[in-house]
Amino acid sequence: MYRRLTAALLALVSGIATAQFVPSSPPNEGRPPAPYRPGSVPRAPDVGRDLADIRARIDDGRDAGTLSRRDARSYRRDVHQVERLADRYGRDGLSTSERAELDTRATVLRDQVNVQRLRGSGRMR
């Protein structure tokens, strides 16, 4: 009795597990390539312009002495991280949420640089 019950349970579980891991169709069947998918947008030139503007603000703050070398280096590193993320996201077209994330990261970074420039830094070198 237990053997039959165990065999029936194993057959049921293996059938369920197989159904979950076997795709019903090839991944790209009937869909256009990624950059042309509905809901995806081309890589955001706005983010690139924003990051270039942030780099200029960092350089201006460093030249004016309102950003320390350490702070400027840290902000440049942050800009580079957002650029790498934009490149990675942009390989197959940006979704709405990816664009929103990049915009948010750029806005936060710009605000941090502006606040630090307004405050000034006590460690100028």
Residue 94: predicted pLDDT: 86
Distance, CA of 78 to CA of 65 (rounded, Å): 20
Which pLDDT score, from 0 to 100, does residue 1 have? 59
- pTM equals 0.60
* Percent of all residues in the chain with a pLDDT value above 90, rounded to a whole number: 48
Q: Report pLDDT digits (tens) over 12-38.
A: 555 554 444 545 555 555 554 444 444
Partners of 95 in beta bridges? 40
What string of DSSP letters covers 59-99? HHHHHHTSS-HHHHHHHHHHHHHHHHHHHHHHTT-EEHHHH
For 42-97, the pLDDT digits (tens) are 444 578 899 999 999 999 999 999 999 999 999 999 999 999 999 999 888 889 99
